[in-house]
A and B are shown apart, each in its own frame.
Chain A
């Protein structure tokens, strides 16, 4: 797998938007999709863990990007961390 985590996340998000978002938001709102960044396959399940497990059954070493269908984030956090280097990894 080539690329740093930020590039992989952007690739996963682009794959989701191009291939799955429109259909999934109609069919599976509120569910979770794990995108295999290499094969571009998506795995949908009721929980984030189940989506990742489905993906890892097919390819245990896959790098994935996880989305909650119809939502901006998979989880919400109650804190904000601001830094001059918020993109240290991503």
Chain B
């Protein structure tokens, strides 16, 4: 039996779109004392973090920059970025997480930690122009089927040859 019916699957799925070939979803971000501001965010599975915001987008959101954080680039080098805590709103839910502030990029990115916190699985099908974020259902481990009883037959030991010498 399937754990999720077709109707339940549909109700828990958010459909995104593509922009310049990248999968994007609609999110909103708020600071400690501000209302949510809407963004189109690229879903970047190569980014292990929660949210990356260009600095010019961070100021209107009202984020308070209080920290620094090293991040690892694809070539193995590190760069230090400004960071802060902020609240991300998506599909009627909210999660607080660490936001990386990027000054060189103009793209808003959500990464693997976004998928983890919101418990989403991602389907990207560019050939069909389809981006889906579905609620992840915990996988219940299936116990292994019982093994058929094995019959062990004892093989009689060969008779000792009294004439055998070592």
Contact = CB atoms under 8 A, between A and B. Distances in A.
Interface of A: 5-6, 8-9, 12-13, 34, 48-49, 52-53, 56, 61-67, 71-81, 83, 86, 88-90
A63 B104 contact: no
Interface of B: 44-49, 52, 55, 65-76, 78-83, 85, 96-98, 100, 102-105, 111, 113
Given A73-B78, A90-B80, A90-B81, A66 B67 contact: yes
A86 B49 contact: no
Given A9-B80, A90-B79, A78 B68 contact: no
Given A75-B47, A77-B46, A90-B82, A52 B71 contact: no
5 contacts: A67-B70, A77-B44, A79-B74, A80-B74, A89-B55
Given A64-B66, A78-B74, A81-B104, 5 more contacts: A5-B65, A65-B67, A67-B70, A81-B105, A89-B55
A71 B45 CA distance: 19
A2 to B, nearest CB: 15
A39 to B, nearest CB: 14
